[in-house]
Amino acid sequence: MKTYLECIPCFLRQALEASRMATHDDGVQAKIIRRVLRETANFSFSLSPPHMGQKIHRIVREETGDPDPYRAEKLRYNMLYAQIYPQAKKMVARSENPRDSALKLAVASNVLDFGPPGFNLGSKIGSILESALSEELAIDDRASFWRTMEKAEEILYLGDNTGEVFFDRLLLEHLPVEKVTFVVRGGPAINDITMGDLDDTGLNGFVSVVDNGSDAPGTILEDCSPEFRQRFEAADLIISKGQGNYETLSGIDKHIFYLLKAKCPVLARDLDVAEGSLVVKEVLPKAV
Amino acid sequence: MKTYLECIPCFLRQALEASRMATHDDGVQAKIIRRVLRETANFSFSLSPPHMGQKIHRIVREETGDPDPYRAEKLRYNMLYAQIYPQAKKMVARSENPRDSALKLAVASNVLDFGPPGFNLGSKIGSILESALSEELAIDDRASFWRTMEKAEEILYLGDNTGEVFFDRLLLEHLPVEKVTFVVRGGPAINDITMGDLDDTGLNGFVSVVDNGSDAPGTILEDCSPEFRQRFEAADLIISKGQGNYETLSGIDKHIFYLLKAKCPVLARDLDVAEGSLVVKEVLPKAV
């Protein structure tokens, strides 16, 4: 997906958020913003938004010397999701169609906003999960998803955010896990999952995990390691989680299921769904 | 008021909005955005946000050749306010304290959002005005406002937006109008009122009107005409309407009443009020 002009104010908002995550020094924050403004002025809008995201978060890391500004935020989200995972798992097991429920929760896990630090999840989480489970999908290729899963031999599951990885696990429990490789980012990129964020998530050991060799908040194939690109080429099915992966892979000639919540108006328009929609969208490779 | 880092994403949002107001050509829009990014990267953040606003809207006019991109929007708002002015005037007259009600409606008139073109005001307007009248002021220097008004000899009333000018008129009807000069912008600046936008507002002829010689969306004194600066110097009281005038004048050593709604979080923090608050704030000149 190309970068739309509406993405530009958003880039600056992201840069400011990341700067503040990394430093309290106004001067450094201002320096970051000026560099991001210059980079954005010269950015090719035919590239995807995560291309610019990668530049932004590299600048933040360079100027602050903080190798992973979102580290604390990521730990917090992992902890929160760890707390609700057992309850979500029971809910899925008790539901009419457990594998569809697991799929839906994996898609909807982007939705789950736990509020400011100190927010008491305990009393709310039941209804949060219930409402996620009862939400309709705006694009619903679930039937094909399960049919395809049975036939696929090599499946790559491209992860997105820390925290949500617990709900990816919930879905992985219903997939032919021996055929799946879970993919994390090669380096810190916003709150995206990396190897270092997998501790205590139970994913290591449960499914084979690789990193893609890139610090982009998406999957920019030409920026990924040769090993990952080879795997991507060889896989007969890709499960792509989240907006960043969609933005960077849409247009790629491959059999892909996009699982995402359309969290911004630009992406919603690109997919022709309402903002906030849940999506399980299949894209088939061109006939060979 | 200086420019805060939070203002930067907002500059880009404004530039995009203005570009779209002025042209449907994607290429021209992108060119504008790139120029605005470069200007913002080099902008001195010790200047006020309207300094940058002025640059942005000059770029939009230059690149599109449209001398006044907001002209249609301004006409629409004048027309909408023209329709509700008689009802507002009656409401004020019937209220317990008419001049306080007029002052409040002038302050609150920024609040009145009439929705998309075609929105049917008729049925809603009564309750919109009622709720504006019943809102509390977060900073309430009204008592001093009226006391001062009786003593002042030369009053400058700095206008803000088109449309709202009808509610400025509502307030002017309760001021010693022979001592007041109403000030408009010297050239198009967003939806701010200029000489050309006064037709059919009833303001011409009712109060003496001058323009400030500047196309900034605020009052940047050093950018105003010598004639206006002289008047500003000579006036013993300034009534400053709206955010742009506050952002450019706060810090100026003069007796000023700021009438505004704190429409953005940055300004609200600068004034130490909640976002969305209504404000009548007196600032006294340093003792001479």
The pLDDT score that the predictor gives to residue A130 is 85
- Binary contact (B5, A13; C-beta < 8 A): no
Residue ranges of the domains in chain B?
A: 7-64, 71-283
CATH architecture assigned to B7-64: Orthogonal Bundle (1.10)
Matching CATH number, B71-283, of 3.40.50.300, 3.30.56.10, 3.40.50.10880, 3.30.300.30: 3.40.50.10880
| A9 vs B contacts (CB less than 8 Å) | 9-10, 12-13, 16
Looking only at the bridges linking them, the beta strands covering B137-140 and B278-283 are: parallel
Name the strand (E) or helix (H) holding A181: strand A180-184
Q: A37 and B13: CB-CB below 8 Å?
A: no
The predicted pLDDT at position A112 comes to: 62
Alpha carbon distance B180, B177 (integer Å):
5
| pLDDT of res. B240 | 98
Check whether B118 has a pLDDT greater than 70.
no
- Note whether A142 and A103 are within 8 A (CB): yes
- Over 70: is that where the pLDDT of A260 sits? yes
Q: Which residues contact B16 (CB under 8 A, 6 or more apart)?
A: A5, A6, A8, A9, B29, B33
Q: Does residue B109 register a pLDDT over 90?
A: no
Mean pLDDT of A48-70: 96
Overall average pLDDT of the B67-83 stretch? 91
Sheet holding A278-283, edge to edge: A137-140, A278-283, A256-261, A237-241, A155-158, A180-184, A208-211
pLDDT band per the 50, 70, 90 thresholds, residue B114 = low
Q: What is the pLDDT of residue B267?
A: 93
Contact residues of B toward A, CB < 8 A:
5-6, 8-10, 12-13, 16, 19, 26, 29-30, 33-34, 37-38, 40-42, 45
CB A186 within 8 A of CB A211: yes
- Residue for token digits 């055929």? A179
Q: Which residues sit opposite A184 in a β-bridge?
A: A211
Q: What is the Cβ-side half-sphere exposure of residue B114, based on CA atoms within 13 angstroms? A: 23
Residues in contact with A161: Cβ distance below 8 Å, sequence separation at least 6, in sequence order: A77, A110, A191, A192, A193, A242
- Over chain A, what is the mean pLDDT? 93
Looking at the predicted structure, is the pLDDT value of residue A115 above 90?
Answer: no
The pLDDT value recorded for residue A77 is 87
Taking 80 as the threshold, does the pLDDT of residue B24 lie above it? yes
pLDDT grade, residue A122 (50/70/90)? Answer: low
A69 Rama sector, left if φ>0, alpha if ψ -120 to 50, beta otherwise: alpha
d(C-alpha A58, C-alpha A60), whole Å: 5
Strands B155-158, A180-184: pairing is: unpaired
Long-range contacts of A272-277 (CB under 8 A, 24+ apart): A273/A138, A273/A139, A274/A138, A277/A137, A277/A138, A277/A139
Please determine, for residue B53, whether its predicted confidence score (pLDDT) is greater than 80: yes
Segment B97-124 shows an average pLDDT of: 76
pLDDT over 70 at A133, yes or no: yes
Distance CA A162, CA A70 (A): 10
Residues on chain A bordering chain B, Cβ-to-Cβ distance under 8 angstroms: 5-6, 8-10, 12-13, 16, 19, 26, 29-30, 33-34, 37-38, 40-42, 45
* pLDDT of A252 above 60: yes
* A15: closest chain B residue by CA: B9
pLDDT for the residue numbered B216? 97
Largest CA distance in chain B: 56
Give the separation between CA A273 and CA A209, rounded to whole angstroms: 32
Shortest distance between the Cα of B39 and any Cα of chain A, in A, equals: 9
pLDDT band at A58 (very low <50, low <70, confident <90, very high): very high
Q: In what order do the strands lie in the sheet with B278-283?
A: B137-140, B278-283, B256-261, B237-241, B155-158, B180-184, B208-211
ipTM, two decimals, is: 0.88
Q: Are B285 and B148 contacting, i.e. CB atoms less than 8 angstroms apart?
A: no
